[in-house]
Structure 1
């Protein structure tokens, strides 16, 4: 196991830890909080948690040549969203964001934990030389495995921070003040 692998696993584990910190307490957020919007076009907690997990699942499994947990673990069927199975939310409209609903924080965490476990397994096999492998030559310069992993990690951390912020606002506003639940 290389130190690069350890650092990446630590980074991805922080996304999981922070997501659990926000969504893991069943008394903290109501189902309405998961789909509440701070303004009419804002992303919801449910969409952000689903999206950050879908991106990690899609991107990390692709570079490892493995099937995504979304399909392999039956999560696509369980969530039953009205999108193509390969959809991970990039470019979603406000109306599409509103369609990510109908499941619990426990469901979001279950899917995320499955993806996190798969990611940890993939990362544990990496060494420093692997990071220079080109995984996407559609860009100039081509994207290496190292760049792809850091990009996914950065997006995950950004989105989990957004989730924590939204949860804090919603908790302070209380049930009567919950902004625009869909």
Structure 2
């Protein structure tokens, strides 16, 4: 509902296209800000266990553990797009690169995209597994870095409770959004 209200308010003065784009940009920036705030809260929580390092130092030393999460979300988000649109890329677009219908270089210009090649269930499983796997790898990387920084395993483990809670929350949110989208 909030995005609809913002879109409606901006559509009048800016026009439908620009109003929608501006509203989407505002909510994208808000989402990035929200995720960043959660990351910094997790780092601050880590520092509350052991204050030998500054918050900035901890952020710099643990940011690498979020790369697998980003890759997991990238796979989850673009998997079906790549599967379906690569059929276009190597099917009709390669034969008729300008899309004029006058060229058929490889005899595949009339081939369409076969959306039955993958159903919703396999797509959901790939998306869900990529999210879970990305978060699991991130937890391993984070714990490995904590062991290297804090020395003893008890302090390292306690320092990771904050990030564990954060990553479990992100995993749950990602899987929830996938399940809602899949009906």
TM range (shorter): under 0.3
Q: TM-score, normalised by structure 1?
A: 0.27
More helix by share: 2
* Relative contact order, higher structure (CA 8 A, sep 6+): 1
Q: TM-score, normalised by structure 2?
A: 0.27
